[in-house]
Amino acid sequence: MAWLYQLFRHDLALVVRGLPYADGRYNHRLLDAYPSPDHHGYLAWRDHPNTGEPAPIAFALVERLALTRWSLAAFWVSPVVRRDGVGSRLALDVLGRHGAEWEVAFQHDNEVAGRFWRRVADAAFGPGGWSERRQPVPHRPDVPADHVIAAARR
């Protein structure tokens, strides 16, 4: 997961204007909480075309924000399979595994993520079964507010 998380942070760097630290790695403190009763990680696998061995192609990290509310802390899909439906299947599976109340945040400048998460929210919670709000990024007044999709399964 730690290696894949670096790929996630690398992809996100363009959106959040992030640079690796002196050791060449991106910030990975988020991973310190995993696994725990309130922090779960999921991997999606596919056979590698060269070796035939199962290879990780996507991940999702979720965290409990309150007794009944869950949040997607990180989500990444390998660029090679991004148009194969892997991301949607993983997202819907993860959303279905934990409580009824969810929050999914994405960066304002990440338009592709916005379209993806709105489609997933429609599929998971039904059109009109979710709301979207803007939320300032903590300690980052220099960046646009995040978008947060909030939903509760009926």
CA distance 39 to 22: 28
Q: Quick one: pLDDT at residue 140? A: 81
- 79-87: list long-range contacts, CB under 8 Å, 24+ apart: 81/46, 81/57, 86/44, 86/46, 86/57, 86/58, 87/58, 87/116
Could you give the 3-state DSSP secondary structure of residue 94?
helix
* Phi, psi angles (nearest 5°) of residue 76: -145, 140
Give the gyration radius of the chain's Cα atoms: 16
CA distance 75 to 59: 6
Closest CA to 116 of 151, 142, 92, 141: 92
Q: What is the DSSP letter of 42?
A: E
CATH number of 2-152: 3.40.630.30
Q: Which residues contact 84 (CB under 8 A, 6 or more apart)?
A: none
Task: For residue 86, give both structure tokens.
Answer: 């892997």
Predicted confidence pLDDT, tens digits, the chain (154 residues)? 999 999 999 988 887 778 999 999 988 888 999 999 899 999 999 999 999 999 999 999 999 987 778 999 999 999 999 999 999 999 999 999 987 799 999 988 889 999 999 999 999 999 999 999 999 988 888 888 899 999 977 6
Whole-model pTM: value is 0.89
* Sequence spans of domains, the chain: 2-152
